[in-house]
Amino acid sequence: MTAPARTATPGPTLSGLFFIFTRIGLTSFGGGLSGWLLREFVQDRNWIDEEDFLNGLALSQALPGINVKNMAIWIGHRLLGWRGAAVAVTGILVPPAIFIIVLGTVVSALILHPLTQVLIAGAAAAATGLSLSMGVVTARRVRRRFVPLALMAATFVAIGLLRWPLVWVVLAGGGFSVGYEYVSIRRGQP
């Protein structure tokens, strides 16, 4: 018996990209948006492979500004050029911005109600879970060599345990990491 054929996912369109980013922007709270983007573009639609996505995520996090905005620009440009980048960033920012203004008006009237506190705590827990799942996916892809694993552990210790300032840890760790990879590439190591 042969396996059932997998249906091909239609390619990206400008309107489709806008609606995907709008849906993600309107249905996500707090952090964890990169987890939604991974699921949508890598796992569900197969428009981007996992390695490219993680490279784009690393680039988006290294650039100044909001990570998810950077990621929307990267994904949109990767799929449909500059028009895709413009549509993606508009979809991830404009409709949610309008919604948050309306929601802020309503929440300001309800903030002292106990149910509101429960809803906010639930949204924070969901965002934490999405961020954790993205961290697990990223950690699985780290090369199983001593230096990358040691750098990952040192970053955790410096920020999570020693509470060193994030900017200095990122500058030092990022600088070391880029230098190390540059030397590895020049030597012809994988």
Q: Map out the domains of the chain as residue ranges.
A: 14-141, 143-190
Quick check: helix, strand or coil at residue 41? helix
- Supply 139's token pair: 């950690």
User: Residue 87, Cα to own-chain centre: how many angstroms?
Assistant: 18
DSSP tag of 12:
P
| Per-residue pLDDT tens listing for the chain (190 residues) | 444 444 557 889 999 999 999 999 888 766 678 888 999 999 999 999 999 999 999 888 888 888 889 999 999 999 999 999 999 999 999 998 999 899 888 878 887 788 878 888 888 888 888 888 887 887 777 667 888 888 888 988 998 889 999 899 989 998 998 898 888 888 876 5
